[in-house]
Amino acid sequence: MAGTYTTIQGDMWDGIAHTQLGSAFYKDSLMTANRKYLRYYIFPAGITLTLPDEGEESSADLPPWRQVNG
């Protein structure tokens, strides 16, 4: 079940993925679920992000340099 997270000043994609989804490896699926906020590297307070279901990341969502071949 997807949820939401409201940012605090200084949050970053990998930190949110780690604390809210259990691993920084979910950063890409978090970013995919929140494309309109991709301009942020460091978040201001008060932005509500959609949290994807854990385990939702697939190699198709990753940029080519992060995809595992084989």
What is the tens place of the pLDDT at every residue in 2-40? 799 999 999 999 999 999 999 999 999 999 999 999 999
Is the pTM value of this prediction over 0.85? Answer: no
Nearest residue to 52 (alpha-carbon basis) of 66, 40, 25, 34 = 34
The label of the residue with tokens 């307070």 reads 45
Say which residue, 65 or 14, is predicted with more confidence: 14
Structure confidence at residue 63 (pLDDT): 61
Q: How confident is the model at residue 43 (pLDDT cuts 50, 70, 90)?
A: very high
Q: How confident is the model at residue 64 (pLDDT cuts 50, 70, 90)?
A: low
Say which residue, 35 or 60, is predicted with more confidence: 35
